[in-house]
Structure 1
Amino acid sequence: MSIDADYLLARLPAFYRERDAELGGPLRALLEVIAEQGAVLEEDIERLYDNWFIETCDDWLVPYIGDLLGVRGLYPVSGTQSFGQRALVANTLRLRRRKGTVPVLEQLAFDSSGWRARAVEFFELLGTTQYLNHRRLHSLRTPDLRQAVRLERIDGPFDDSAHTADVRRPPAGRHNIANVGLYLWRLHAYPVQRGQAFAIPGMTGCYSFDPLGREFIDDPLLWDGMLVNRPRSETEITRLAQPINVPEPLSRRALHDELTRLRQVIADGGTPEPLYFAAERGGAVLRIWVDGEEVPVEHLVVCNLSAIPGVNPEAWRRPPALLQVTPTQGGPAHDFPEAGASTPLVGFDPLFGRISLPAGVTAGRLEVAYAYGFPGDVGGGPYDRRPARGEDDAREGLLDPADYQVVIEVPGDFPTLDQALQAVVPGNRCLVRLLGDSSETLVGPLNLPNTQLAIEAANQRRPVLLGDLQLAGNDDTRLILSGLLLDGQLRLSGDLREVALRHCSLVPARGGIHHDDAAKGRMLAIRLTHCLCGPVRSEGALAGVEARYCVFDHGAGEAFHLPDTGLSIDRSTVFGRVTAGALEAANSLFGAKLAITRRQQGCVRFCYVPDGSKTPRRYRCQPDLVTKGLPAGKAKAERVRVTPTFTSTAFGHPAYAQLRLSTATEIRGGAEDGAEMGVWNLLQQPQREANLRQALDEYLRFGLEAGVIFVN
């Protein structure tokens, strides 16, 4: 029911309505005020009703409902949409009915930490002499060397081979009678819906899934594979997680076996039932389009596309032009592809993220859908960019088209981004929205005085911009970039007013952000949030540079060259030296020395600052805290101990800027909120791990001991 002035007037005698009309409507004006307050009351009543239920209640009510069920207090986790306390409270009764079972531990781990999990009873994998009256035929002491997939999974979360006893406590020791293991995946799968594959120069018919052609094969100790599985939710709480339910790297052997079975079923005249390539519940783990037409699953061939040894120039193997499969019951062989088929066989390698076409086959355009791994929602990526909570800063979310005079969609209004930018008329507020994951080439520079230009990717999309984005203007020119991957430099010139980047990636090797006019730019404010970026440089003074939840990467060079500009940085990681006029920093990691000119102003709080840095006053920073009052020898050892170490510092690597688990607790829990310093403070991983360990005390079977094992 909706209360308005007409609704209230209709319930009054006609005499009052006629008299009110004769007097110019004073009664109607009064009823409009009453109706407005009535609508507020009606909305509040509906909100109170919704707050009775865990599925629809406000966030602040979740702990109160949990308290009614006796759910132990959890450390609050905010800043991410992938996890909250609501699921754990909602599933409490279901979990308690099955307390002590292994599937409950998996669900508990996911609800309390937000990480995908696999629970393993290690005592089931002990190699023991079997009693003939109680045979365990599945527990074989010696693995079958013909089962390649099972051999591939030894010592992992899906290992089913027998092991000798390990008497150490978990997680260091695993296979023992009282041990249970919880394998957790910290990296998430980010699905690209339909991106453009990168054509390898000089190798016709060879492509990379990555739109920039990046590879990390030179680091085998850290490299698990470029393509990861898109995890499918488990339908029942009583079922243990399988490889299809977790974001693990895709296996050549597992995909090869499935595609081989699928082709055999088709040759036998049956209906295939794929697992990894099923269309429902999230879709196939990868899809390929050749010149706009999708390649059928049965035309995909798993290949080892490493470089052929001894061949110069580099060459990859090619899939055959034809596969013939003989039916099980005999008869003529079935051809793949069939005669007259419009798409060829396409070879792909999930480990290296490579694609090859048969010899002599070419394509004008190759598009791919796949998922890659990454720790969290930072940088240009196909994730939900809306704020996780209503109280979050609106500048971190999506743009509102109502704020702009002109809205241009690509494709739609224009086929390419470059054509759309050339159509922007100076003097307007213009929003250019990119609706797909395609790669767009930037051509000419932009000169837009008195203009507010915004380029935004559609939500859960990641378009790629190739080339430098050059912008000139005046003191009323503003630029906003949102959700983009820029394989080039952002070059600014003139007295611009504002440049804001949110959820963007600028390839560090391309140069980052550069303002090249030393005499101008004093009005320019640069703001970045949730970004991965290269160096930020300005030859003259700017109004200021602000960064939050960002990574700035220039290796051993200068990550910031702002000799006469104030820098404000919060919850960020910096690889490279910092030169700035003034500094305000909090909860951040600096990988090289800082040289701040005006050290009498500003403050550095809860940060890691390397020795020899010249900064404003510091508060609870490392290694200052651990070395305070120690002799020189012990202080040196402590400085080495708390030095941050990273899983990878290579841009584009799945674990980019992620702290190693061996990093000192003073760094992993050294921020002001108890989370880690640096960009991944966003994930609040110490709180998640503490929530899981606290919840395990209630649900673990008596006499068992659980070990938390991070897969990645």
Structure 2
Amino acid sequence: MKPPPSVPLFERLPEIYRTRDVEQTPPNPLRAYLAAAEGPFSALHQNIGQFYEDLFIDTCDDWVIPYIADLLGATHLKGDPRTLRADVADTIALRRRKGTLGAIERLAVNLTGWACRGVELRVNLGWSQHLNHQRPDAGGSPPYGDPLRTRFDVPRGGSAPLRDPAALALLGTPFDNFACTADVKPAQGDARHVNLPNLAIFVWRLAAYRLARVLPLAKGSVDLGPQPAGLARFALRFDLHPLDLPVRLFNTSRPGFLRPDTSGGVVSPLTEPDAVPGPMLAARLTSGTKAGRPGDYVGVDFYDAAATPPHGFDLGDTGLQLWLPHTLAPLLVPQAPATEWQWRFRGDTLCAWESGLRRPLGSGEIVIDPAIGRVLIGLDSAAQAAELIVPDGSGLRSRMFASFTYGAAGPVGAHPLTRRFEAHTSGTDLRLVGDIPGGVTLQAALAGLATASKPVVIEIHDSLVHRIDLSLLPGTTIDGTLSLRLAEGLTIRAAGEHRPLVLLAQPLSLRPLTAAAAAPFTPQVRLEGLYLAPDPSAPFPAGHALIDRVAVARLEIIGCTLAPGGHSLRDGTRAPMQPALRLVDGYGFAAAADAEAFVPTPDIVISRSITGSIGVDPRYRLEIQESIVDAGLGLRDAPSGVLAIGAATSPATNWGADLHFDGLTCFGALRVASVGGLGGIFTQPFEVLDNQHGCIKWSAFSGAGDRLPPNHFCVFAGAARIVFSSERFNDPGYAQLARESSRAVRELGPGDDAMGAFGFTLEAHKWTNLQVRLREFIPVGVRPLLMPVT
């Protein structure tokens, strides 16, 4: 839709002229005349207005940032314009506080967007105090001047309290206050060297994504029999991930508020230990311990389950939040009317809860295993247990909702991101899905696609589980399989801040109404922000791909996760792999005449997504941008017959479709007809049929069995070290380049940044910018050590 002019000339005319303009024959000649002038006049008006905005760092265009930096005498940096803008905006404030820990942390946050903690490592040195020069502590006159201190408190640089696991959990972390001996080895980054001149700057590189509301998987309610007073009789078990995947729980980042100082500026408070976007520490979740801080990690609230849709899901600021039905609240009040029910928390290992608990479960106690995302709740009566877990057909259904936070290397795959869409117009058929007013199920929203008269947009407004069974839709049985028949284009997308899970009862198949109608108006399909996986409650065909037919002009997979499998199970083994696409020549048409009548060459576009293996025959075009393709084979795995990208038909002997990539991390071998691209990391052999044409730049290869076209600025694993934080899907550091990887891989990719799927995050620029500024802001004699925590 064309935006309205910033200066509507016609609307500014007196009413008499606008009225007479309508009365002319033909009508509105003056409106049409002025409309031709409104475009350039509005552009000129906006340009003049931008001149004023360019005077301020907050509102100026990106190209103006270095010019304002020149006025302040700040050196020029390269990278994300947002970080450069923040750096220039805080230049004066940081110069006033040059060398202070608050300024160092604020500088690092501005330049990287990561949470940061600065630590002067000299305070961790263990040394004997002179009686005339005693070292002060936070608790008063040393060593225990504060009468409120106990023998378990740790003075600065003190000994470790062996009886408090919550305090011991901070050992070796950025918040370690225990005494250490001096480390006289040469100081290097990425390692904690405790010595007088060393300043450690810890950064959390992984992004923490918070799912606003999910329905955990109820695993059962166990009657433990009669128990002594204070112990729970019923143990309710929940897996937070609805697909029963282990998930590492993260906390949310909660930087302190800036406070004014006496000079009229602001002071940045230092980062607190329980407010950083890192993995939750089980010991810190335990109530009743001196150093335990469960309130900083988990919250419990009640919602109105009787309302349609349910409401009362107010988000707190902790990494994990649980909502229980409000009908459970009266049952959780003890006999004594003066006291309210108090939840108690415990961090523990629940990987073997089927065989019993290591420690008894208290009444009103919530046990959390942050390493695998499990929750155990202790209740007193069957009535209380029935409020949280109810029978649902052949299984169980949870009535407890949860919001949890997990970590990932960046916005690749389906994540709860901010998304903005154009306003709905009459040109599309918008169908809302979810537990919102007017919302329907995804299955119901897919009805009537064959009779649609305009493109259909299905928007999902929650992060719950949605199921698709094509056999339940009329008219989908065609060409010997089940396929969605499309009369117009189709978009299925997640609303902002949501990550819906779409479970498929059978592979997703797409085709037009008739093959003859395919030219030139073949429908286009777009999937955005979805997490697609096989439905475990349905007989999804083993070994089949999630998408097995694309008889449309274009398929776009944007910001999606087509679950590749291969994740770590709770016993440490690896789950089986799941193919993502298998697209054969003939487009799935049963009749040869239909295949011949289908004119377009479908474009398969995958952007910022995670997928399993891709099998695409030559009559398609494949384009991959800033994505991960996972067939389960890393750098140290022996080659096998499984291809990450290849042909769908006889992949061992045939060649896959033409491939173009821009930022790709591929765990597996490739075998394609032709290729062109840049910024790839390939862990297994890469074979190209036409190696005389095309070009690959700034990429890393395994160096074993490759058949490549001309390549430039590329490296091979034998000469360049390539290390990932994790090669398993669903791990927090999945496909993240570790710091021990060679500089050529981390910093000499496209745009002088990292190769692979996460090059667009400009991590190399963030490291370089931070090091440049630290040289300017660190006092003489202080040695900064940059240390990634995640």
Q: Normalising to structure 2: TM-score of the pair?
A: 0.74
Residues in 1 aligned to 2:622 and 2:221: alpha-carbon distance in whole angstroms: 42
**What's the counterpart of residue 348 of structure 1?**
368
Residues in 1 aligned to 2:428 and 2:447: alpha-carbon distance in whole angstroms: 17
Residues in 2 aligned to 1:672 and 1:246: alpha-carbon distance in whole angstroms: 31
**What's the counterpart of residue 625 of structure 2?**
548
Higher deviation after alignment, 162-171 or 575-584: 162-171
Distance 1:317 1:358, change over 3 A: farther
**What's the counterpart of residue 229 of structure 1?**
251
Conserved? CA contact 1:194–1:367, under 8 Å? yes
Residues in 1 aligned to 2:375 and 2:741: alpha-carbon distance in whole angstroms: 37
Q: SS at the partner of 2:416?
A: coil
Are positions 1:380 and 2:404 aligned together? Answer: no
**What's the counterpart of residue 697 of structure 1?**
775
Higher deviation after alignment, 22-31 or 68-77: 22-31
Q: Give the one of 638, 654, 657 matched to 1:565.
A: 657
Residues in 1 aligned to 2:292 and 2:283: alpha-carbon distance in whole angstroms: 14
Residues in 1 aligned to 2:356 and 2:677: alpha-carbon distance in whole angstroms: 49
Pairs within 5 Å for 1:341-420 = 346-358=366-378, 361-362=385-386, 363=389, 364-365=397-398, 366-385=400-419, 398=421, 401-402=424-425, 405-411=428-434, 412-420=437-445
Residues in 2 aligned to 1:370 and 1:208: alpha-carbon distance in whole angstroms: 11
Q: SS at the partner of 1:455?
A: strand
Q: Which amino acid aligns with 1:249?
A: P
Q: Which amino acid aligns with 1:503?
A: G
Distance 1:319 1:50, change over 3 A: farther
Residues in 1 aligned to 2:584 and 2:45: alpha-carbon distance in whole angstroms: 58
Residues in 1 aligned to 2:183 and 2:721: alpha-carbon distance in whole angstroms: 32
Q: SS at the partner of 1:257?
A: coil
Distance 1:210 1:654, change over 3 A: same
Q: In the TM superposition, what is the alpha-carbon distance from 1:619 to its structure 2 partner?
A: 1.6
Q: SS at the partner of 1:550?
A: strand
Q: SS at the partner of 1:660?
A: coil
Are positions 1:69 and 2:55 aligned together? Answer: no
Q: In the TM superposition, what is the alpha-carbon distance from 1:430 to its structure 2 partner?
A: 0.6
Q: Which amino acid aligns with 1:209?
A: L
Pairs within 5 Å for 1:114-133 = 114-133=113-132
Residues in 2 aligned to 1:19 and 1:552: alpha-carbon distance in whole angstroms: 61
Q: In the TM superposition, what is the alpha-carbon distance from 1:142 to its structure 2 partner?
A: 2.1
Q: Give the one of 208, 224, 229 matched to 2:239.
A: 208
Q: How many residues align?
A: 637
**What's the counterpart of residue 709 of structure 2?**
616
Distance 1:108 1:647, change over 3 A: same
**What's the counterpart of residue 220 of structure 1?**
none
**What's the counterpart of residue 764 of structure 2?**
686
Q: In the TM superposition, what is the alpha-carbon distance from 1:255 to its structure 2 partner?
A: 2.5
Are positions 1:322 and 2:363 aligned together? Answer: yes
**What's the counterpart of residue 628 of structure 1?**
none
Q: In the TM superposition, what is the alpha-carbon distance from 1:403 to its structure 2 partner?
A: 8.2
**What's the counterpart of residue 55 of structure 2?**
52
Q: Which amino acid aligns with 1:60?
A: W
Residues in 1 aligned to 2:374 and 2:526: alpha-carbon distance in whole angstroms: 34
Q: Give the one of 191, 212, 215 matched to 2:210.
A: 191
Q: SS at the partner of 1:422?
A: coil
Conserved? CA contact 1:542–1:564, under 8 Å? no
Conserved? CA contact 1:531–1:550, under 8 Å? yes
Pairs within 5 Å for 1:596-675 = 596-610=688-702, 611-623=704-716, 639-675=717-753
Residues in 2 aligned to 1:706 and 1:210: alpha-carbon distance in whole angstroms: 40
Conserved? CA contact 1:588–1:607, under 8 Å? yes
Q: In the TM superposition, what is the alpha-carbon distance from 1:91 to its structure 2 partner?
A: 1.0
Conserved? CA contact 2:164–2:289, under 8 Å? no
**What's the counterpart of residue 336 of structure 2?**
none
Residues in 1 aligned to 2:698 and 2:438: alpha-carbon distance in whole angstroms: 48
Q: SS at the partner of 2:446?
A: helix
What is the CA deviation profile of residues 165-220 of structure 1, one whole-angstrom value per residue up to 9, with x for unaligned ones? 1122243462111111101111111010001213348989422222322227xxxx
Distance 1:315 1:594, change over 3 A: farther
Conserved? CA contact 2:695–2:711, under 8 Å? yes
What is the CA deviation profile of residues 26-67 of structure 1, one whole-angstrom value per residue up to 9, with x for unaligned ones? 666655555555444433333222221111111221121112
What is the CA deviation profile of residues 482-518 of structure 1, one whole-angstrom value per residue up to 9, with x for unaligned ones? 0011113432336332211000011113633333543
Residues in 2 aligned to 1:71 and 1:293: alpha-carbon distance in whole angstroms: 60
Distance 1:434 1:317, change over 3 A: farther
Conserved? CA contact 1:4–1:36, under 8 Å? no
Distance 1:294 1:590, change over 3 A: farther
**What's the counterpart of residue 483 of structure 1?**
529
Residues in 2 aligned to 1:167 and 1:686: alpha-carbon distance in whole angstroms: 29
Residues in 1 aligned to 2:368 and 2:719: alpha-carbon distance in whole angstroms: 43
Conserved? CA contact 2:211–2:463, under 8 Å? yes
Residues in 2 aligned to 1:124 and 1:552: alpha-carbon distance in whole angstroms: 46
Distance 1:448 1:201, change over 3 A: farther
Conserved? CA contact 2:411–2:608, under 8 Å? yes
Residues in 1 aligned to 2:28 and 2:657: alpha-carbon distance in whole angstroms: 60
Q: In the TM superposition, what is the alpha-carbon distance from 1:356 to its structure 2 partner?
A: 2.1
Distance 1:545 1:7, change over 3 A: closer
Q: SS at the partner of 1:61?
A: helix
Q: In the TM superposition, what is the alpha-carbon distance from 1:285 to its structure 2 partner?
A: 2.3
**What's the counterpart of residue 134 of structure 1?**
133
**What's the counterpart of residue 578 of structure 2?**
511
Are positions 1:256 and 2:286 aligned together? Answer: yes
Q: What are structure 1's unaligned runs of at least 5 residues?
A: 217-225, 264-272, 324-344, 387-397, 624-638
**What's the counterpart of residue 9 of structure 1?**
13
What is the CA deviation profile of residues 590-638 of structure 1, one whole-angstrom value per residue up to 9, with x for unaligned ones? 1101222222222121111222211222222212xxxxxxxxxxxxxxx
Distance 1:485 1:35, change over 3 A: closer
Are positions 1:533 and 2:611 aligned together? Answer: yes
Conserved? CA contact 2:659–2:672, under 8 Å? yes
Distance 1:461 1:258, change over 3 A: farther
**What's the counterpart of residue 301 of structure 1?**
345
Conserved? CA contact 1:303–1:319, under 8 Å? no
Residues in 2 aligned to 1:32 and 1:524: alpha-carbon distance in whole angstroms: 40
Q: SS at the partner of 2:286?
A: helix
Q: SS at the partner of 2:66?
A: helix
Are positions 1:180 and 2:199 aligned together? Answer: yes
Are positions 1:441 and 2:467 aligned together? Answer: yes
Distance 1:253 1:597, change over 3 A: same
Q: In the TM superposition, what is the alpha-carbon distance from 1:346 to its structure 2 partner?
A: 4.2
Residues in 2 aligned to 1:498 and 1:33: alpha-carbon distance in whole angstroms: 35
Q: Which amino acid aligns with 1:676?
A: A
Q: In the TM superposition, what is the alpha-carbon distance from 1:672 to its structure 2 partner?
A: 2.9
Q: SS at the partner of 1:53?
A: coil
Higher deviation after alignment, 643-652 or 171-180: 171-180
Conserved? CA contact 2:663–2:680, under 8 Å? yes
Higher deviation after alignment, 196-205 or 702-711: 196-205
Distance 1:173 1:246, change over 3 A: closer
Q: In the TM superposition, what is the alpha-carbon distance from 1:369 to its structure 2 partner?
A: 0.2
Residues in 2 aligned to 1:579 and 1:16: alpha-carbon distance in whole angstroms: 66
Distance 1:258 1:294, change over 3 A: farther
Residues in 1 aligned to 2:290 and 2:448: alpha-carbon distance in whole angstroms: 51
Q: What are structure 2's unaligned runs of at least 5 residues?
A: 136-141, 143-154, 223-234, 259-266, 302-313, 333-340, 390-396, 471-481, 513-517, 535-544, 566-576, 589-599, 634-641, 648-654
Q: Which amino acid aligns with 1:576?
A: G
Q: SS at the partner of 2:715?
A: coil
Conserved? CA contact 2:450–2:487, under 8 Å? no
Q: Normalising to structure 1: TM-score of the pair?
A: 0.82
Q: In the TM superposition, what is the alpha-carbon distance from 1:5 to its structure 2 partner?
A: 3.9
